[in-house]
Structure 1
Amino acid sequence: MTAIAGSSILIVGATGGLGQELSRALADRGAQLVLSGRTAEALTAIDAPGARLVADITNPAAITALVSEAYAINGRLDGIINAAGVVAFGPAIDVADEVLTELFAVNTLAPIRILRAAAAALAESAAAGRDPFVVTLSGVVSESPTANMAAYSASKAALAAFDQAAARELRRAGIRIIDARPGHTETPLSTHPIAGTAPRMPVGYPPASVVSRIVAAIENGEKDLPSSAFTVVPATGQ
């Protein structure tokens, strides 16, 4: 079982709905957190202890700096949670170039660049006998692309494909990649899309339940969380 207590964990997108829940859950388990978001004001409002780092993850240089600073804060890096994301709605043929650019910059390229920047630090953690991990949230749309969310679905499916291949490559280095694909979750994400208007959706998962499942996967050494894994929320180690 992976010990979260004492682990140095970077949470990217800590100011979002799932990011805040994850921050509290991991802090309750004794993690040493580095919380990242787009603005200092939003980071200040997070009800969890930890260092705060402002970063624009659409900027490759900012990602390199973020990972370097996160490593320096605790002298190591044992885990990364990629909880940042943007969503857009509307017909596939109407999606604007700037919307496509932002969707892929935040949802796809940022997690890829974060892993690239952090690989050496995570391998160092594994060599020290810890169990380093990276969590991404590609969501159910990466399994079942959704009409009127084609570009968003594509950005998440690309991330899921990258994760599957990278997980095989990094296994020997002791780095575990967990791609979580929950169904619709009741966070504010769909209420502030970068384009379009959200359709009426069925009631989604409570964020706390999704977070409990993700934390359980971290603790229990799981390597993948398909949408079917979110039908039951297991007890987590304490």
Structure 2
Amino acid sequence: MDQKCALVTGAARGIGLATTDLFLEMGWRVAMIDRDGEELTKVAAERDNVQAIIRDVSNPQEVDAMVRDTLAFAGRIDALVNNAGVAEFGPVKDCTFDMWRRVMETNLDGVFLCTQACTDALKETQGAILNIASISGLRASTLRVAYGTSKAAVIQLTKQHAAELGEYNIRVNCVAPGPVKTKLSMAVHSPEIIAAYHDAIPLNRYGSERELAEVICFLCSEKASYVTGQIVAVDGGFDSTGVGLPALRD
């Protein structure tokens, strides 16, 4: 049980899967959490030193079970990566309360529940928590009233937890991804939106899942031992530039 273990939510695909792979390269074990059981089981079967745990982070009872499952697998938790999230976009007038709650219960409630449930285990290892927010939590944009608000709340929650959990040598940081090249983003972003993002990003391109994982794993590692309460925008400089993209406006 001396081998370090990361618990990664939303691990079946995208940034969560890339983060899992980098932790494995670092010699860690990974508890892979996702509610998409079919996809999670598939990708976990292709990897060693992982445990697929099919749970919904918005459900308190399932979160408690997730922690028990992880401790049964690895005996410890050295890092919690709160990556699970949902995105529902649309004009403010079309955002129903049901849609608002669907976004909040995973993106915000899930971070709160997982952090609370993992705190005792992280005290034992003096571990780290890494939350995934979004550039939409740092700068307002159209069509993101629920999503952007949930991610802004995650940023504040990161600071709250960093302030309190530092007493136990638990570090809490947050990564705010900008546009990331994933199968989903390439499927839903029109050529006009892609071009508009490229024009607005100083590095003139989307980020990759691996580039996000590099920052996430660094902040969870001992190399970042004096870093806590920080919000790191991994966005190619997008947050440093203006507001609004015409191609995204309703």
Question: Fold match, TM over 0.5?
Answer: yes
Cα offsets for 1:168-214 (capped at 9, x unmatched): 1100111111100121111245478xxxx767242421111121122
Deviation at 1:230, TM superposition (A): 5.5
Report the TM-score, using the length of structure 2 for normalisation.
0.81
Deviation at 1:133, TM superposition (A): 0.6
| Amino acid in the other structure paired with 1:185 | V
Partner of 1:22: 19
Cα offsets for 1:22-66 (capped at 9, x unmatched): 111110111011111113321122243201110022211111111
> Paired residues, what number?
218
Kept in 2, the 8 Å contact 1:10–1:33? The answer is: yes
Alignment partner of 1:83 is 2:83: yes
Partner of 2:174: 179
Partner of 1:145: 140
Q: Select the structure that is richer in helix.
A: 2
Q: C-alpha separation between the residues in 1 aligned to 2:169 and 2:142?
A: 38
| Amino acid in the other structure paired with 1:39 | D
Deviation at 1:96, TM superposition (A): 1.4
Alignment partner of 1:226 is 2:235: no
Q: Could you list the runs of 4 or more consecutive aligned residues of structure 1 that deviate by over 6 angstroms after TM superposition?
A: none
Secondary structure of residue in 2 paired with 1:181 = strand
Q: C-alpha separation between the residues in 2 aligned to 1:184 and 1:139?
A: 9
Deviation at 1:142, TM superposition (A): 1.1
Partner of 1:217: 219
Q: 1:54 to 1:191 in 2, by over 3 A?
A: farther
Kept in 1, the 8 Å contact 2:10–2:85? The answer is: yes
Cα offsets for 1:151-184 (capped at 9, x unmatched): 1100111111111111111001111111001211
Gaps of 5+ in 1: 127-131, 232-238
Partner of 1:31: 28
Using the aligned pairs only, state the percent identity: 22
Kept in 1, the 8 Å contact 2:130–2:219? The answer is: no
Q: C-alpha separation between the residues in 1 aligned to 2:36 and 2:5?
A: 22
Deviation at 1:77, TM superposition (A): 1.1
Secondary structure of residue in 1 paired with 2:63 = helix
| Amino acid in the other structure paired with 1:80 | L
Kept in 2, the 8 Å contact 1:55–1:66? The answer is: yes
Q: C-alpha separation between the residues in 2 aligned to 1:103 and 1:88?
A: 7
Kept in 1, the 8 Å contact 2:181–2:209? The answer is: yes
Gaps of 5+ in 2: 198-204, 238-250
Partner of 1:45: 42
Report the TM-score, using the length of structure 1 for normalisation.
0.84
Kept in 2, the 8 Å contact 1:87–1:190? The answer is: no
Of residues 7, 11, 30, the one that matches 1:10 is: 7
Alignment of 1:63-78 (within 5 A): 63-78=63-78
Q: C-alpha separation between the residues in 1 aligned to 2:124 and 2:95?
A: 42
Partner of 1:235: none
Secondary structure of residue in 1 paired with 2:116 = helix
Kept in 1, the 8 Å contact 2:179–2:235? The answer is: no
